[in-house]
Amino acid sequence: MFPERVYYENTIQNYPLGRMLIEKYKSSEFIPIESHNNIFELRSRPNEDFTAMKNYLVIGVRKTHKYVPNTKISDFLVPFTSSGCMAMCLYCYLVCNYNKCSYLRVFVNREQMLDNLIKKSHEYTKECVFEIGSNSDLILEDTVTDTLSNTIEEFAKKGRGAITFPTKFGMSDKLLGLRHNGKVIFRMSLNPQELIKSVEIGTSPLFNRINALNSMCEAGYQVGILIAPVILVENWKALYAELLDILEAELTQKTKDSIFIEIIFMTYSYVQNAINNQAFPDSLKLYNKEIMTGRGRGKYCYKESYRLEAETFLRDEIDKRFKSARIIYVV
Ligand code: SF4
């Protein structure tokens, strides 16, 4: 049962979403906290408890609203309605930020964040793209808060430019009939099913993700694919070639004609390695000292020669199958 426990700041009762969540999860155990940022009881738990803590929900009020300039798909990263996630991808970048406290936190002052976003979208001379999903998975958050549909329709009505978010989940049906006015860029993150199963624990299977991508494209959303993160396991060439074969067979012509592609290689960290070794002792080992090298502050990335070989391989294989798809960047 999710959530097994709810940690909450008292002030959430002053917000409609706070009261809705209290009612929705009234059969869970509720534990008051001073601040969602610093729950000593959870911070002091051992790494082995990582999976148990993913079953907790933390509800608070977001105080930081600073937009961070970005140069990839968006112009700004926006701190939005949640951070953390219930899933447990072994490489999750959020673990670098929140360590073992990367459980789902939702913020009840969503009206304030949406108002800020709409105002900000009118402040620039050019139309900007705002990344609202860099701290969590908004499709998954939506199953808890129902926030995303409202965000899309309100931004479509009053915002300028576009909002975008990536996801690893296929539950997009709720979004299909929304009036999005072409102001939403939906990006599906994809990996070979074998890696989804062993590494992206708790996320949607590949075929659900492909179906969601096709449906969102059909519903008029702008769509993109992230091949991310590329993980260089022993048989990576066969796995990624098979993934591209599946995409060639399963994506609709309309999706193929519309998509752009982002390719991101996996980075990994000392912290993730420590948590995974203790919380998932039997899982696939992602750290490989033969092909990885240090990249500052306890992080590892693939050595340049391995990365280059994989980049060339992926570019060639994509080009063979998707002539019109644009690879926007590879990192
Ligand atoms: S779905 Fe995204 S946010 Fe959630 S654990 Fe996986 S990588 Fe992290």
CATH number at residue 278: 3.80.30.30
Q: 42 is in which domain, residue-wise?
A: 5-330
CA nearest ligand 1 atom 7, residue: 92
SS3 of the chain: the string is: CCCCEEEEEHHHHHCHHHHHHHHHCCCCEEEEECCCCCCHHHHCCCHHHHHHHCCEEEEECCCCCCCEECCCCCCEECCCCEEECCCEECCCCHHHHHCCCCCEEEECCHHHHHHHHHHHHCCCCCCCEEECCCCECHHHHHHHHCCHHHHHHHHHHHCCCEEEEEECCCCCHHHHCCCCCCCEEEEEEECCHHHHHHHEECCCCHHHHHHHHHHHHHCCCEEEEEEEEECCCCCHHHHHHHHHHHHHHHCCHHHHHHCEEEEEECCEEHHHHHHHHHHCCCCCCCCCCCCEEECCCCEEEECHHHHHHHHHHHHHHHHHHCCCCEEEEEC
In angstroms, the CA 329 to CA 331 distance is 7
Please report the pLDDT score of residue 262 as a whole number.
98
In which band, very low, low, confident or very high, does the pLDDT at 112 lie, cut at 50, 70 and 90?
Answer: very high
Contacts of 68 (CB under 8 A, 6+ apart): 76, 77
In angstroms, the CA 318 to CA 240 distance is 10
Average pLDDT for the chain? 96
pLDDT value at 147 more than 90: yes
In which band, very low, low, confident or very high, does the pLDDT at 270 lie, cut at 50, 70 and 90?
Answer: very high
CA nearest ligand 1 atom 8, residue: 92
CA of 320 to the centre of ligand 1 (A): 30
pLDDT value at 151 more than 90: yes
Count of structural domains, the chain: 1
Please report the pLDDT score of residue 104 as a whole number.
97
Q: Which atom of ligand 1 is nearest to the CA of 203?
A: 1
In which band, very low, low, confident or very high, does the pLDDT at 84 lie, cut at 50, 70 and 90?
Answer: very high
For the residues 173-186, what does the mean pLDDT come to?
A: 98
pLDDT value at 87 more than 90: yes
Please report the pLDDT score of residue 219 as a whole number.
98
Q: How far is CA 225 from CA 63, 201, 305, in A?
A: 32, 20, 25
Q: Which residues line ligand 1 (CB under 6 A)?
A: 85, 87-89, 92, 94, 136-137, 168, 200, 203
* C-beta separation of 165 from 131 below 8 A: yes
Site to substitute for ligand 1 among 137, 200, 280, most atoms within 8 A of C-beta: 137
> Model confidence over 221-261: pLDDT tens digits?
999 999 999 999 999 999 999 999 999 999 999 999 999 99
Q: Which atom of ligand 1 is nearest to the CA of 87?
A: 5
Site to substitute for ligand 1 among 82, 86, 89, 204, most atoms within 8 A of C-beta: 89
In which band, very low, low, confident or very high, does the pLDDT at 292 lie, cut at 50, 70 and 90?
Answer: very high
